[in-house]
């Protein structure tokens, strides 16, 4: 039951950089937005870390365009994440990238189609499993924050109840995420956008606060710049247009 809002939270998690020295060139290419180069640089090793990173670069490339992400890139990213997990079943980044890939696959599906796949539940389970092993992982907190909002938007109160989603849980995850990473642009942008798609009138103050934080933070990566530009555009519309127009734009933006 996840759609565009949840998918877009992928941006925040895609910004994480591998720490190993062997990934220096790949990390630098990723930060600069050179995703093909980053993918190639990470191809020298057949490790869980390298495959998870390759999944991340593919998803970043897919999501940075203005059009819907090509399914071929999503499938390739999912394959890389699954290879990472086949090498290390508990690999944190592998689990996160698989969750993102599954959410992207769900994007064009109807609610009934998405429910039949079980991918919505699986992506949540993957993110929650990351928090069980690494409670301070703010990417997983952010993913789950948007997951709960998106389920409520698409499924309504009944759908949210069936899936165990709530705005209370969403806010709990978001507050923890920004406590852990107050300067992360992606966290602010994705939260604001999810709320704007849900109910722009009801959540206007919260949306504005998050967007202003995203716009006012210095970007660290090319991906940050993409998210910041989109946050600035949505902020302008929030201040100027009707709530229905805000919701329409929030749903349409990548």
Q: pLDDT tens, 43-86?
A: 888 999 999 999 999 999 988 877 778 899 999 999 999 999 99
Q: What pLDDT, on a 0 to 100 scale, did the predictor assign at position 143?
A: 95
8 pLDDT exceeds 70?
no
For range 226-231, the mean pLDDT: 96
For range 159-188, the mean pLDDT: 96
Q: What pLDDT, on a 0 to 100 scale, did the predictor assign at position 104?
A: 87
How far apart CA 189 and CA 35 sit, in angstroms, is: 22
Structural domain for 238, as ranges: 4-252
Q: What pLDDT, on a 0 to 100 scale, did the predictor assign at position 13?
A: 52
Contact residues for 108 (Cβ-Cβ < 8 A; gap 6+): 68
Question: What's the CATH number where 59 sits?
Answer: 1.25.40.10
For range 233-243, the mean pLDDT: 98
Report which of residues 254 and 36 the model is more confident about: 36
Q: How many domains does the chain have?
A: 1
Size (the chain), residues: 254
114 pLDDT exceeds 60?
yes
For range 159-181, the mean pLDDT: 96
Q: What pLDDT, on a 0 to 100 scale, did the predictor assign at position 1?
A: 45
Q: pLDDT tens, 14-50?
A: 545 444 445 789 999 999 999 999 999 998 889 999 9
């Amino acid at each position: 039951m996840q759609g565009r809002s949840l998918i877009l939270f992928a941006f925040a998690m895609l910004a994480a950089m591998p720490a190993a020295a062997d990934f220096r060139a790949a990390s630098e290419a990723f930060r600069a937005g050179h995703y093909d180069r980053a993918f190639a640089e990470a191809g020298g090793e057949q490790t869980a870390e390298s495959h998870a990173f390759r999944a991340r670069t593919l998803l970043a490339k897919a999501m940075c365009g203005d059009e819907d992400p090509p399914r071929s890139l999503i499938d390739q990213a999912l394959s890389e994440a699954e290879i990472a997990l086949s090498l290390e079943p508990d690999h944190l980044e592998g689990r996160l990238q698989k969750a993102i890939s599954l959410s992207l696959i769900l994007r064009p599906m109807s609610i009934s189609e998405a429910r039949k796949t079980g991918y919505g539940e699986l992506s949540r389970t993957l993110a929650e499993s990351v928090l069980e092993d690494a409670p301070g992982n703010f990417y997983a907190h952010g993913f789950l924050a948007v997951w709960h909002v998106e389920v409520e938007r698409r499924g309504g109160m009944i759908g949210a109840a069936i899936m165990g989603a709530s705005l209370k849980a969403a806010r709990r995850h978001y507050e923890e995420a920004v406590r852990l990473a107050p300067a992360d642009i992606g966290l602010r942008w994705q939260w604001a956008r999810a709320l704007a798609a849900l109910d722009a009138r009801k959540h206007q103050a919260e949306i504005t606060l998050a967007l202003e934080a995203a716009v006012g933070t210095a970007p660290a990566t090319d991906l940050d710049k993409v998210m910041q530009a989109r946050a600035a555009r949505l902020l302008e519309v929030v201040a100027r247009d009707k709530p229905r127009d805000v919701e329409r734009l929030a749903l349409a933006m990548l």
